[in-house]
Structure formats: structure tokens, C-alpha cells
């Protein structure tokens, strides 16, 4: 267990470390909306590819039976 000065030093170190993290969004509203839409487009494309793969596997599975 830390005592005395060491405890204070650890608290100061933790506060400094927490203060260095970036907490705010620095993008403007339009930049944020655009980046959000870009991410959504990427996810839609990934989902479309996954659905196509699943359909192809299902079609291949039916033909084998």
C-alpha cells in the first residue's frame, strides 16, 4: 500500500495522464456528419458482400443435396 508522498505523486501522475487524453470532438457538424455517413457506407458495403456470400453458399448447398 502506498503511503504519504507516494500516494500524492501517484494521484498527480494519474491526473496528468487523464488530462492528456482527447475527450472532445474537434470536427464541425458537417465534417462529423460526413465521416459518419462514410463509415455507414463502408458498413453497408460490407453487409452487402456478406449477404452475397451467404446467398452463394446457400445456393451451393442446395445444389449439393
Q: What is the separation, in whole angstroms, between the first and last Cα of the chain?
A: 67
How far apart, in whole angstroms, are the C-alpha atoms of residue 13 and residue 6? 10
Residue boundaries of the structural domains of the chain? 27-65
pLDDT of residue 18: 80
Report whether 43 contacts 36 (CB < 8 A): no
How far apart, in whole angstroms, are the C-alpha atoms of residue 31 and residue 37? 10
pLDDT in tens, 2-49: 577 888 899 899 988 887 766 677 788 898 899 999 999 999 999 999
Report whether 57 contacts 64 (CB < 8 A): no
pTM of the model: 0.49
Amino acid at each position: 500500500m502506498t503511503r504519504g508522498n507516494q500516494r500524492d505523486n501517484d494521484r498527480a501522475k494519474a491526473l496528468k495522464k487523464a488530462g492528456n487524453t482527447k475527450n472532445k470532438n474537434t470536427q464541425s457538424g458537417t465534417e462529423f456528419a460526413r465521416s459518419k455517413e462514410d463509415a455507414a457506407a463502408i458498413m453497408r458495403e460490407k453487409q452487402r458482400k456478406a449477404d452475397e456470400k451467404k446467398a452463394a453458399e446457400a445456393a451451393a448447398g442446395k445444389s449439393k443435396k
